[in-house]
């Protein structure tokens, strides 16, 4: 939620993603879990948003966020 709201503020977004990256590393989150998370988003969000779901927009945003956390 926070990362999505920061997409238009790149310096702050990068700081938040670096923080989240550190937390995920400390907790030993495996890289493949991010792929599972994306599949879950693709299953749940369209069902919740219906015709308002914009797949390319969600992919563009989630790609930036996950790349920053996954580093």
**Count of structural domains, the chain:** 1
- For residues 19, 25, 26, 28, the Cα torsion angle rounded to the nearest 10 degrees is 150
Q: What is the pLDDT of residues 2-33, one digit of tens each?
A: 999 999 999 999 999 999 999 999 999 998 99
What is the distance between the alpha carbons of residues 63 and 55, in angstroms, rounded to a whole number?
12
User: Quick one: pLDDT at residue 58?
Assistant: 93
Q: What is the pLDDT of residues 32-60, one digit of tens each?
A: 999 999 999 999 999 999 999 999 999 99
| Structural domain span for residue 42 | 2-70
Find the CATH number of the domain harbouring 14: 1.10.490.10
User: Quick one: pLDDT at residue 1?
Assistant: 83
pLDDT at 71 over 80: no
């Amino acid at each position: 939620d926070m990362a999505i709201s920061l997409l238009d503020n790149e310096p702050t977004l990068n700081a938040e993603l670096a923080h989240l990256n550190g937390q995920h590393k400390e907790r030993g989150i495996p890289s493949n879990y991010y792929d599972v998370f994306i599949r879950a988003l693709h299953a749940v969000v369209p069902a919740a948003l219906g015709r308002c779901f914009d797949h390319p927009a969600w992919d563009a945003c989630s790609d930036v966020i996950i790349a920053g956390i996954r580093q």
